Structure 1
Amino acid sequence: MSEIDWRKHGFAASQLGYLLKGAGYFHQAHRAVDDCHALLEVLDFVLPTTGAPALALLLEKPPASRRCESGQSRPLSNSRTR
């Protein structure tokens, strides 16, 4: 989520724990499903500096600046269908 300048919007840092605290939330960290739900709450949080959800800022970025990286350079497939 480094595509958003969180400090500019009043957050202490860009790590999930800081974002949640700044948005008024708390969660059990380091459980994948909890982290995913927490991220959705942060993206839905209306930033006081813009009056819009954080997701709106993320979507304003050009697609080239948004990328999904994985440790492998191959298409995803379901090994059970082979």
Structure 2
Amino acid sequence: TSNFVVRLIPQEVGSSAWLQYKFSLTAREGDVCYLMLQGHGDKVIAKLLNISYWTVRTHVANILKKIGITSRNEIGIAVLKTTFSFRPYNQ
């Protein structure tokens, strides 16, 4: 097996509206998800969106549930799976 890290460039993902559409997120969940994909932590997201840290945590929990994943680290892969037809390089 091989391990790899995916860092998504926000312009390639689209916008928070795209995330809302693809994953049936609320507007605020889309904003939080978009900022997470940019690499921001919960405290920074709270400050950027002028909401409490605990509100961000609630949105993150809702996002994970709606996308069907258990860790925020899996969000990039979930977005890639819905965006691209991904196959290993050698196939």
- Whose helix proportion is higher, 1 or 2? 2
Q: Same fold (TM over 0.5)?
A: no
TM-score normalized by the length of structure 1: 0.32
Q: Using CA pairs under 8 Å that are at least 6 residues apart, name the structure with larger relative contact order, 1 or 2.
A: 2
TM-score normalized by the length of structure 2: 0.30
Between structure 1 and structure 2, the one with the greater Rg is 1
